[in-house]
Amino acid sequence: MAVQLPKSKAAAAVNLTPLIDCVFLLLIFFLVASRIADEEPQLDLDLPNVSEALPAIFEPQELIVSIDAEGRFFVAGEFRQIEQVEQLLRRSYEANPLSQSVIIRADRRVNWETVAQAMALCKKVGIQQYSATMEEQ
């Protein structure tokens, strides 16, 4: 047999206070948003026209620096002096300051100090994304 409990008037009443609070918050939000939207087009700006502009940041490409067993540096398959490698890294970083990455590929027989020197060059010019791999060439 089911037990029947008497219903009180307090349970039948719905508390509307939270609902009214939400409605007021939405009203304030839309009033502020519409005010900001109205101010934007009111600015009278004479913007310059540019017909041939290059993007500020170019498509990022990984720069690969290879180091052979004798500790010589190669970029794009060509032998480079350490100063030339630094200049290439600097130019690459200036073209892509936030996304330039460098891969340092070194022969297993190379002295680790040479690889550390290439990493130091990356750090010196500001490149934060670099990695080094040792492989048999």
Do the domain assignments include residue 49? no
Hey, how many other C-beta atoms are within 10 angstroms of the C-beta on 131? 12
pLDDT class of 25 with cuts at 50, 70, 90? very high
Structure confidence at residue 16 (pLDDT): 85
pLDDT class of 112 with cuts at 50, 70, 90? confident
Do the domain assignments include residue 1? no
**pTM, two decimal places:** 0.55
Greater pLDDT, 57 or 116: 116
Do the domain assignments include residue 82? yes
Cβ(71)–Cβ(32) below 8 Å: no
CATH code at position 101: 3.30.420.270
67 and 130 share a domain? yes
Do the domain assignments include residue 33? yes
Q: Match 């990695």 to its residue by tokens.
A: 131
113 and 76 share a domain? yes
37 and 76 share a domain? no
pLDDT class of 121 with cuts at 50, 70, 90? very high
